[in-house]
Amino acid sequence: MQISLVIPLLNEAESLPELHAWITDVMQQNNFSYEIIFLDDGSTDNSWAIISDLAQKDEHVKGVKFKRNYGKSQALHAGFKLAQGDVVITMDADLQDNPEEIPELYRMITNENYDLISGWKKVRHDSKIKKNIPSKVFNWAARKVSGIYLHDFNCGLKAYKNQVIKDINVYGEMHRYIPFLAKNEGYTHIGEKVVKHQARKYGETKFGSGRFIKGVLDLITLWFLTRFAKRPMHLFGALGILMFLIGGLATVFILAVKAYKLYYHIPTHLVTDRPWFYIALAAMILGSQFFLAGFLGEMLIKNSSNVQRYKVDAEV
């Protein structure tokens, strides 16, 4: 099979028949062998009934329905497990992603040997205040942290080699960072394609402003896991030593000043009456705790039997 289309959705009953017809038309024009996997992420409208009807009429259609809304990452994870095509293409179900981009995305993966192609909605049809400006800030931060210079990390229209989506683990809200996840697994041939962005035809967007806060937090989490998941002592140990040294040196200084004043009979207060003493003591305690956290992390990693230390690409 050449192409698997993985389409997560939530309450998109009005869009589904039109989207299916559009995809089918593109696929037949290009003589692709394909499958369409709809992932119903706990819709409360008529979406699942429409998917079931499409599956009965079209052998290319498959569907998965969640009992409740788990989020886009979980929907993509389920779709990736089912996908059998050589090239896997994800897109949203709201008709804002254009199926006519599929042939070129497929060509770039197969002919130009890209591991992943991310869409770039260069011309958007969204509210500038609600989506455009926050997206630019978010994408700037993602580029700086990941080292992958894509313009639109959050674009739902992406294409992958099948092996890429089998090797990555999309969880939480990490669907925004699939290129970052792929890079961390050794898939570095990542490209970008300008894609057409359609204005929303039915309903309203399912994403609020809170997604950008979650996106930033997820980016920090991914940065931390990438750099320190297998070597926590490098972070916590370094912080612990630094804070302990600062606290220790401050304590020595405070005691030295106290001793100097006592030696020369200069009036002075009790060390415990000075706030700097407690600040220095707190720094030493926190430093010890950071170091202990790093040490325990290293012990857990060493004694965990299911930690994957590396992946073998080939043997001869």
More confident of the two residues 56 and 299: 56
Residue pair 266/272 in contact (Cβ under 8 Å)? The answer is no
Q: What is the pLDDT of residue 316?
A: 37
φ, ψ for residue 242, nearest 5 deg: -60, -50
Q: What is the pLDDT of residue 120?
A: 92
Which stretch of 85-94, 109-118, 137-146, 301-310 has the lowest confidence by average pLDDT? Answer: 301-310
What's the pLDDT score for residue 208?
A: 54
Q: 22 pLDDT exceeds 50? A: yes
Contact 179, 222 (CB under 8 A): no
In this prediction, what percent of the chain has a pLDDT beyond 90? 54
Contact present, 129 and 209 (Cβ < 8 Å):
no
pLDDT interval class at 192 (50, 70, 90): very high
Most confident of 27-36, 145-154, 301-310: 27-36
Identify the weakest region by mean pLDDT among 152-156, 214-218, 246-250: 214-218
Confidence of residue 314 (pLDDT cuts 50, 70, 90): very low
Kindly report which listed range (14-18, 170-174, 214-218, 251-255) carries the lowest average pLDDT score: 214-218
Which is more confident, 171 or 65?
65
Stretch 161-190: mean pLDDT: 91
Most confident of 181-190, 258-267, 271-280: 181-190
pTM, whole model, 2 decimals? 0.76
Decide which of 124 and 128 is more confident: 124
pLDDT of residue 212: 65
Amino acid sitting at position 306 = N
Q: Could you tell me which of 182, 181, 192 has the C-alpha nearest to residue 158?
A: 192
Paired sense of beta strands 87-90 and 190-194, if any? unpaired
HEC secondary structure over 84-127: CCCEEEECCCCCCECHHHHHHHHHHHHHCCCCEEEEECCCCCCC
User: Tens digits of per-residue pLDDT, 242-251?
Assistant: 999 999 999 8
Q: CA-CA distance, 36 to 22, in Å (whole number)? A: 12
- Rounded mean pLDDT of the chain? 87
The pLDDT confidence band at residue 43, using thresholds 50, 70 and 90, is: very high
